[in-house]
A and B are shown apart, each in its own frame.
Chain A
Amino acid sequence: GAVVSQHPSWVICKSGTSVKIECRSLDFQATTMFWYRQFPKQSLMLMATSNEGSKATYEQGVEKDKFLINHASLTLSTLTVTSAHPEDSSFYICSEIGGGGTEAFFGQGTRLTVV
């Protein structure tokens, strides 16, 4: 199956600063990657679909100016949380769909804590 590398695995930042999370596809050229957010004891919520070479598609209610997504190459998608606030503290996970078009392969996730 596909291997997705996500880092950092955890980050603590001050309120008002920006944080970049990277998601790399190590063995598969992913034209599309997906970003999720998961609050404690809640489900994964799809935030946006990252498309290589074009603008990301955001789910309803997700602020595109706050969560900047860049997918400049077939193997790298980044999520930048701009002007982070404590309510942005969450577990952020990226994924790609494998070559068979069925299974989603997830990165290791990033635990963001904004203090």
Chain B
Amino acid sequence: QKEVEQNSGPLSVPEGAIASLNCTYSDRGSQSFFWYRQYSGKSPELIMFIYSNGDKEDGRFTAQLNKASQYVSLLIRDSQPSDSATYLCAVNQFYFGTGTSLTVIP
């Protein structure tokens, strides 16, 4: 399977801060990139996807893609305790990283 790497964390940020999640991938030909949120014992739910280099914003979330560096990130602004979860990066829909555990401290 294609390699998708994420820092497993845990990442802790205070409420209201910006959380930054990073992901690198090995297949230079990858075309689509997804960020999912997964609560413990639950299935993943899509946060957003990005196909083109640059930034894509959706509410408090911003995905950033740099294909030359084979790097995709997710920024969460004004982090809330309810954002505490594991965030999975996926490449080409099917290949997932191990996830980064995020804890937002009230």
- Which of B43-51, B63-71, B76-84 forms contacts with chain A? B43-51
Q: Assess whether A34 is in contact with B46, with CB atoms less than 8 Å apart.
A: no
Known: A103-B46, A104-B34, A106-B43. A34 touches B94 (CB 8 A): yes
A68 at the interface (CB under 8 A from B): no
Tell me the total A-B contact number using a CB cutoff of 8 A: 45
A79 at the interface (CB under 8 A from B): no
Q: Assess whether B94 is in contact with A46, with CB atoms less than 8 Å apart.
A: yes
Name the interface size band of chain B: 20 to 34
B61 at the interface (CB under 8 A from A): no
B71-97 CB mask vs A (1 if < 8 Å, else 0) is: 000000000000000001010011111
User: Quick one: closest A residue to B46, CB to CB?
Assistant: A103
Contacts of B96 in A (CB 8 A): 43-45
User: Quick one: closest A residue to B43, CB to CB?
Assistant: A106
**A contact residues vs B (CB 8 Å cutoff):** 34, 41-46, 59-60, 91, 93, 97, 102-104, 106-109, 111
